[in-house]
Amino acid sequence: MGGTLPAVLNAANEIAVDAFCDGHTSFVGIAESVSVVMDRHQVNEHPSLDEILQADQWARDTARDVIGLDQAIA
């Protein structure tokens, strides 16, 4: 696991754990949603810092979508 994938894993996990703590997903849902986000990501093996930051933001947005946080907040 390399390139942008560690940033994606971390960002998706942060969103999923926050969603769990707020009652928007189950404990098992953390791993499930992180896995979905990682599967959807197209890894850049040799990213610049800007590309890592873009991957982080993409993962946060995608995790919110996967978990359904936009619907929960609206």
User: The CATH number of the domain where 19 resides is what?
Assistant: 1.10.1740.10
Q: Which residues, including other chains, have CB under 8 Å from residue 27's CB and lie 6 or more apart?
A: 20
Residue 74 has pLDDT above 50, yes or no: no
Residue 10 has pLDDT above 80, yes or no: yes
Cα→Cα distances 50→1, 19, 57, Å: 19, 26, 11
Q: How many domains does the chain have?
A: 1
Looking at residue 72, its pLDDT comes to: 54
Single out the residue of 29, 20, 5, 14 nearest to residue 60, CA to CA.
14
pTM (2 decimals)? 0.91
Residue 65 has pLDDT above 90, yes or no: yes
Domain span at residue 47? Answer: 5-73
pLDDT-based confidence at residue 70 (cuts at 50, 70, 90): confident
Single out the residue of 47, 31, 53 nearest to residue 61, CA to CA.
53
